[in-house]
Every structure is written in C-alpha cells, then in structure tokens.
Amino acid sequence: MRIRLKQFDNLKLSLGCGKKDEADFLIDVPDLSEFVGLDERDLGQEIVWKVGGIPLPDESCLYVWCAHFLEHFDETEILEVMDEIWRVLKKGCLLEIRVPDQSSPCSIMPYHKQIMHKNYFDIFRDPGLTDYGHKLWTIEKVEMYSTVRGNDLKIIMKRG
C-alpha cells in the first residue's frame, strides 16, 4: 500500500486507473493527467490500495472516473464501492462510470463478476435503498456507444 499525495482535497480520482494505455479504446475521455490514480497494482500511480475503502477523507473529490472497474465486483461489493465513492465525492459532484454493456463480448470475460445493462444503475436512485443503509444518487446520463471491444455504457451520476 502506498499514498503519494501533496493534498487531500479537491481531487479528481481515477478509481481502478490501470495503465495509462489500457483505456485507449474508450472515447470522450477526460484529461486523466489531472486525476489522482488508485489501483491495487503498482503502476506508478499516486495510490496503491486494494479496494475495501478508499483511503481519502470524506468529500475530498470533485470528480470520480471509474472506467472498466465495477464489473469486477459482485452485487454486494458494488454497493460497498458505490457508498465509498459517495463518501469521498463532494455534494453535487459527479461520478462517471464506463462498463461493457451486456451485448458486448467483453461483458462475459471470466474475471467480470457482473454483466451490466443500461438500467443496472437505476437501483441507486431508489429511495428504498436507504432502508439498507446505502446512499442515493441522481442519474444524469446513460448512453451506449461502440468501441473496438464492443458496446460500452457511459453512466454519469451525481451525489446528493
């Protein structure tokens, strides 16, 4: 585990950042050079940490980028990760998720624990979720687009 940061506030976080060239198939990608990277593999990024909690203070992030990461978790783990993202994200700030759509050949890779579709994240805006201690999100945008690997989903969510 390692954390190399000069500040712990107003961050843009790339969760599960991977290698810089691993996401070369994505389109409409933000400038990731402005982002703090977090991954369990040591690839030279700022934070090397196995997810089980994001090692940042509450409301320390302005934006969270999460590309091809959530499909590696089961349903219970995804709820926990989403709650952690909600915790570190400032109120009113955005989470951008990219995952393979269920129609993509990528969606059935053996290390993917979830097959996702355009309505998968609707549960996060259901008020009943709070009965189980989870946080509510607003879904700002859901769109599907084609990549060289197949169809991907882009979901933008806002923390309340």
Q: What is the pLDDT of residue 14?
A: 96
Check residues 123 and 23 and name the one with the higher pLDDT: 123
CB-based contacts of 132, cutoff 8 Å, min separation 6: none
* Confidence band of 23 (pLDDT split at 50, 70, 90): low
Pick the CATH number of 8-159 from 3.40.50.2300, 3.30.70.1230, 3.40.50.150, 1.10.287.3510: 3.40.50.150
Cβ distance 38 to 16 under 8 Å? yes
Helices (H), 33-154: 75-88
* Cα angle for residues 60, 124, 141 (degrees, 5° grid): 80
Give the β-pairing of 137-147 and 150-159: antiparallel
- pTM attached to this predicted model: 0.93
pLDDT over 70 percentage in the chain: 96
What are the extents of the domains in the chain?
Answer: 8-159
| Cα–Cα dist 27/39, whole Å | 21
Tokens at 6, concatenated: 């000069």
